[in-house]
Amino acid sequence: MTAAVPNDTAVTTTAEQRRSYLQFDMLIIPLVVLLFMGIFSFHFALLVGDWDYWIDWRDRRWWPLVTPLAITVLPAVFGYLLWDKLRLPLGGTLTIFCLSLAAWISRYLNFHLLANFPMDMVFPSSYVGLGLLLDCMLLLTRSWFFTGLIGAFLVGLLIYPMNWPILAQYHVPVEMDGILMTVADVFGFEYVRTSIPEYLRIIEQSTLRTFGEAVTPLTAVFAGFINIINYWFWIWIGSLGVKAIWIRKIV
Amino acid sequence: MRFSAVLALIFLVLSVLIPSLAEAHGERAQQPALRMRTVEWFDVSVSTKQLQVNDILVVKGSFVPSNYWPEHVHSIEGASYLNIGVPGPTFVRLDSRINGTPGIRSTAFHKGELYNFEITLKARKPGKYHIHPLINVESAGPVIGPGIWVEVTGSEAQFTNTAKTLLGQTVDMEHYNFGHTVAWSALWMLIAAAWIVYWLFSRRPLIVPRFKRVSELGQDADAILTPTDRRLGLLFLIITLSVTMGGYLYANDRWPITTPLQTGKVHTPPAVQAPMPLEVTMGEARYRIPGRSFRIELTVSNKSDRPLSIGEFSAGNLRFINSKVLDIKPTDEDDLVAPDALRVEGSPIPAGETRKLVIYADDAMWETQRMTTMIASPDAVIAGMLFFYDDQGKRYYAEIGGPMIPVFG
Amino acid sequence: MATLASSVKADVDKALSERSPTAPWAKFFLATAALLTLFTCYRFYQHATAFTYGLDFFSPEFQKYWMSLLYSELSIEVLFGVGAGLYLWATRDRNLDKIKPGEELRRYMVMMSLLLAFGVIFYIVASIYTESDAAWHQITIRDTDFTPTHIGLFYFGVPCFILASFVAFMYARTRIPQFANKLSLPFALLVAGPFMIMPNLGLNEWGHTFFYAEELFAAPIHWGFVALGWSAFAAGGLIVQVLTRVVQLTRLMSVDKAASAA
């Protein structure tokens, strides 16, 4: 359906050709960066949202399960574009880097300056290493199948340990009014959120029945498993997204 | 950093230039049935109306969940949470008690039972705030109590808030190890940035020639990758895994004792209510729209040994006062108290007698607080709280409720 | 002779290279600066008046500071959209079959710079304005659809990026042969998805006042917005369409001829 190859050309020398190519670099690279910052923030806000906004939502059971599922979508979809059309193993790192950058800017402007929360309660988690895992795995295996099987599994598995250096300090126990709390829970109670009452927190309410305190590793393995299928699914969507389809009219 | 400093400065200047008062909290938008038939609030007070940053403010009061709770609204007996309606953490909440039980976790409140609450706040940001107690009810949203204006002066920069952990450390809640958090996040961003720079900026022009070459190579497009590319892939994979595992071990070593986030629902026992020696039933209730006048017929049995008078009718946080019995003035311009708006025919009720009474609650508040939209409700039922006083000033209360008929002419 | 020939060749090359198109960077940066100023001013206004006059929909101050802003911005957006659409259509190129490759390449660059401007708005709105809405609704009590952050997000920001994508789409439809002759499905999705966010607001507001009173941001009631946001996943298809044509337009004929001779 593409137009016929023109008989004439817009460039006559390699210097001109290079100049044109550079123009498109300058147009396309910032465009994808801005799109990734926008789409990923929007997608992540509406699927993970509060789990990443508030320190007292990053629990052992739901946060490490919901987050990898949402965070793998763009690396897979745009990873397909960047790898299949350009052989750039950047889908994971670049998209998540853009998300993280946008998240820091937004938390500072919105949750800190506008809504007045201290930054140590509303900072975003660190996810960009997960993108590196996917990209390195894709580069080394050059296979969607193995990147899903190993890389996407590692994304689910490692999201918790990757963030533990930051989160651990918030899980130090505190006693308040005769109740056991963590530092994170104290933030949630003290810094008033008028429309986010305590019951709205979707966090672990009991340990797993027979695995006791092994909630974190078991959740990690489960998240890794679902994320394999999740990655493959979104790779397929990515393969549809890059189709250069032309139609005659809107039907 | 300079950019953020400039931004902060502009916000600071703006916040000084524009008067910082915060308005009421939108309770006027809620349907009147929701306001009248959910929670009966009373005796809401604040310990002070003028305070400095770091000063303590205690908000006290009582509430009784309505027996006329609408069927179509999720019940307060499910999951609920006593909260405070201030715009964001302009105050921090140090303590919250309902009948002495800590209000840290979610709970359930029961219809017709009495709950006395006390919320201790610490002022964090200067401004004038309309403070409301409120109850979040799961799937029903916020049920808002009466609001009181409070003014905070001083400097936000002076605010301090600490917590003590069970391991004996004191935590600065405003900047808790934030340098550590930023450093750790920045480390990851730098590693990722190195990877991105290598792929996007080490060869120029990039996009068009690479697209062209990959298209030409087709199935063999992997040939475009160089041995350096692959070696870097392996190196970054090792770095990522090592930093992850190293960080995890470091954190476990630095914070060996941690507990999971704490949650759960607690039981809040209702307060023991003094016996109410009276019975009240509501007869006909007609609201005359042009006169903004509510006429309610009542049958009251006084089972006490003293005469009783009706001093106040409260509905949806609007308080109509019988000035012959009570002398109550609004505490501020937005206190929804009409000091002389309740007329009672047939009061007082002698001891031991049953009488028919008519009360008239007449005030423009019905209109200004948008309660008149009750005629637009598909469930035209009202409820409110009557406060009776004996000749020694002892107070009794009883909730009334039932259908309402509008009078248009 | 050889020196003269090479000198002439250098002159010709220089003249030709001066004709080789570039994106309208000056206009782009000017437009971006204007957009950034607009969005920053809006944000300062929001910061200064949201907590003071934006908490009670039924107060006269709310009507003055927020509803008048809403009515003004909606009117300007409709006028701008209709005006830009009519202008692009009225000034369309009626001789697209005669267009030179250099001009076609230039138009691709213009289209991409329009999309880049769209990208600037899209980032600001989808990230900063969206999360300001999240932050606001989680600390206040909603009493209207027209909350200060909704007036910024849904009635200013979202229409702005709909307009930006519409302008880029109309530019391509009226000035670039390939996009004029056929309809690019990925491009159409990129415009239609954001556009559908506006009608989807109906579900959001109906749901929030009926069956979902909480302000949890990741709640299912918001997933309609996510699905529509995913229409941006078609951006890859559009980039492939553009790159394919750019490769054709920037071939070096001599190299091609040499290759075919070989």
Considering the domain architecture, whether residues B247 and B334 belong to the same structural domain is answered as: no
Q: How far is it, in rounded angstroms, from Cα B45 to Cα B146?
A: 9
B173 touches chain A (CB under 8 A): yes
**pLDDT on residue B291:** 87
Name the residue among B163, B161, B168 with its Cα closest to residue B257: B168
What is the full per-residue pLDDT of chain B (409 aa) written as tens digits? 455 555 555 554 544 444 445 555 667 777 888 899 999 999 999 999 999 999 999 999 999 999 999 998 999 999 999 999 988 899 999 999 999 999 999 999 999 999 999 999 999 999 999 999 999 999 988 999 999 999 999 999 999 999 999 999 999 999 999 999 999 999 999 999 999 999 999 998 999 999 999 999 999 999 999 999 999 999 999 999 999 999 999 999 999 999 999 999 999 999 999 889 999 999 999 999 888 999 999 999 999 999 999 999 999 999 999 999 999 999 998 899 999 999 999 989 999 999 999 999 999 999 888 888 888 888 899 999 999 999 999 999 999 999 999 999 7
Q: Which of B212, B333, B371 to mutate to test the interface with C (most CBs of C within 10 A)?
A: B212
Considering the domain architecture, whether residues B161 and B197 belong to the same structural domain is answered as: no
- Cβ neighbours of A22 in B, within 8 Å: 204-205
For the question of whether the overall pTM of this predicted structure is more than 0.90, the answer is yes
For residue B261, give the nearest of A56, A93, A140 by CB distance.
A56
Q: Under an 8 A CB cutoff, do B207 and C243 touch?
A: yes
What's the burial of A89, exposed, middle or buried (CB within 10 Å: 0-12/13-18/19+)? buried
- Boundary (domain end) residue, out of B167, B198, B221: B167
**Residues B22/C48, Cβ–Cβ less than 8 Å:** no
- Cβ neighbours of C50 in A, within 8 Å: 114
**Residues B233/A139, Cβ–Cβ less than 8 Å:** yes
A66-75 confidence digits (pLDDT tens): 999 999 999 9
**Residues A182/B258, Cβ–Cβ less than 8 Å:** yes
Domains and CATH numbers, chain C: 24-261 (1.20.1050.50)
Considering the domain architecture, whether residues B45 and B146 belong to the same structural domain is answered as: yes
- Chain B to chain C, count of Cβ pairs less than 8 Å apart? 87
Q: How far is it, in rounded angstroms, from Cα B178 to Cα B185?
A: 11
Q: Which of A190, A203, A219 to mutate to test the interface with B (most CBs of B within 10 A)?
A: A190
Q: Which of B9, B18, B367 to mutate to test the interface with C (most CBs of C within 10 A)?
A: B18
Q: Under an 8 A CB cutoff, do B236 and A132 touch?
A: yes
Looking at residue B68, which CATH number applies to its domain? 2.60.120.570
Q: How far is it, in rounded angstroms, from Cα C158 to Cα C154?
A: 5
Considering the domain architecture, whether residues B36 and B146 belong to the same structural domain is answered as: yes
Q: Under an 8 A CB cutoff, do B88 and A115 touch?
A: yes
Tell me if B307 is assigned to some domain.
yes
* Bond before C101 cis per omega within 30 degrees: no
What is each CA distance from C180 to C92, C96, C184, in whole angstroms? Answer: 10, 8, 9
Interface of B with A in 201-260 (CB under 8 A): 204-211, 214-215, 221-222, 224-225, 229-230, 233-234, 236-237, 239-241, 243-245, 247-248, 250-252, 254-255, 257-260
- Boundary (domain end) residue, out of B254, B287, B310: B254
Considering the domain architecture, whether residues B215 and B339 belong to the same structural domain is answered as: no
A71 touches chain C (CB under 8 A): no
**pLDDT on residue C51:** 85
B174 touches chain A (CB under 8 A): yes
Q: Under an 8 A CB cutoff, do B23 and C52 touch?
A: yes
- Chain A to chain C, count of Cβ pairs less than 8 Å apart? 266
What's the burial of C24, exposed, middle or buried (CB within 10 Å: 0-12/13-18/19+)? middle
C101-159 confidence digits (pLDDT tens): 999 999 999 999 999 999 999 999 999 999 999 999 888 887 788 899 999 999 999 99
- Cβ neighbours of B79 in A, within 8 Å: 199
Q: How far is it, in rounded angstroms, from Cα C220 to Cα A49?
A: 12
Domain map (residue ranges) of chain A? 15-241
What is each CA distance from A134 to A61, A92, B234, B267, in whole angstroms? Answer: 23, 6, 12, 47
What is the full per-residue pLDDT of chain A (251 aa) written as tens digits? 445 677 788 898 999 999 999 999 999 999 999 999 999 999 999 999 999 999 999 999 999 999 999 999 999 999 999 999 999 999 999 999 999 999 999 999 999 999 999 999 999 999 999 999 999 999 999 999 999 999 999 999 999 999 999 999 999 999 999 999 999 999 999 999 998 999 999 998 877 766 666 888 899 999 999 999 999 999 999 999 999 999 998 87
Assign B177 to helix, strand or coil: coil
Considering the domain architecture, whether residues B68 and B153 belong to the same structural domain is answered as: yes
Name the residue among B329, B326, B299, B304 with its Cα closest to residue B313: B326
Q: Under an 8 A CB cutoff, do B22 and C55 touch?
A: yes
What's the burial of B49, exposed, middle or buried (CB within 10 Å: 0-12/13-18/19+)? middle
Assign B328 to helix, strand or coil: coil
Q: Under an 8 A CB cutoff, do A169 and B255 touch?
A: yes
**Residues B397/B388, Cβ–Cβ less than 8 Å:** yes
- Cβ neighbours of C130 in A, within 8 Å: 41-42, 45
Q: How far is it, in rounded angstroms, from Cα A168 to Cα B252?
A: 8
**pLDDT on residue C10:** 62
C7-32 confidence digits (pLDDT tens): 656 655 555 555 678 999 999 999 99
Considering the domain architecture, whether residues B102 and B45 belong to the same structural domain is answered as: yes
- Cβ neighbours of B141 in C, within 8 Å: 213-214
Of all residues in chain B, the one with the smallest CA distance to C243 is B208
For residue B95, give the nearest of A113, A177, A193 by CB distance.
A177
Q: How far is it, in rounded angstroms, from Cα C93 to Cα B147?
A: 63
**pLDDT on residue B19:** 43
B175-227 confidence digits (pLDDT tens): 999 999 999 999 999 999 999 999 999 998 999 999 999 999 999 999 999 99
Distance from CA of B289 to the nearest CA of A (A): 34
- Boundary (domain end) residue, out of B116, B148, B167: B167
CATH 1.20.1450.10 fits A15-241, yes or no: yes
**pLDDT on residue B49:** 97
Q: Under an 8 A CB cutoff, do C127 and A16 touch?
A: no
Of all residues in chain C, the one with the smallest CA distance to B131 is C140
Q: Under an 8 A CB cutoff, do B22 and C58 touch?
A: no
Tell me if B16 is assigned to some domain.
no
Amino acid type, B76: I
C37-69 confidence digits (pLDDT tens): 999 999 999 988 888 888 888 888 899 999 999
Tell me if B359 is assigned to some domain.
yes
Helix (H) or strand (E) holding C150: helix C148-152
- Cβ neighbours of A115 in B, within 8 Å: 88-89
Q: Under an 8 A CB cutoff, do C138 and A196 touch?
A: yes
Q: How far is it, in rounded angstroms, from Cα A188 to Cα B92?
A: 10
- Cβ neighbours of A243 in C, within 8 Å: 185-186, 237, 240
Q: How far is it, in rounded angstroms, from Cα B226 to Cα B275?
A: 87
- Domain range enclosing B34: 22-167
Vertex B95 angle, CA B90 and B101, to 5°: 145
Considering the domain architecture, whether residues B156 and B184 belong to the same structural domain is answered as: no
**pLDDT on residue C256:** 52
Give chain B's domain count. Answer: 3
Considering the domain architecture, whether residues B314 and B379 belong to the same structural domain is answered as: yes
Tell me if B101 is assigned to some domain.
yes
- Cβ neighbours of C217 in A, within 8 Å: 45-46, 49-50, 53
Q: Under an 8 A CB cutoff, do C141 and B134 touch?
A: yes
- Cβ neighbours of C183 in A, within 8 Å: 246-250
Considering the domain architecture, whether residues B29 and B126 belong to the same structural domain is answered as: yes
Q: Which of C36, C131, C200 to mutate to test the interface with A (most CBs of A within 10 A)?
A: C131
Q: Under an 8 A CB cutoff, do B250 and A165 touch?
A: yes
Assign C75 to helix, strand or coil: helix
Considering the domain architecture, whether residues B121 and B186 belong to the same structural domain is answered as: no
What's the burial of B271, exposed, middle or buried (CB within 10 Å: 0-12/13-18/19+)? middle
B159 touches chain A (CB under 8 A): no
A174: which 2 tokens? 């505190």
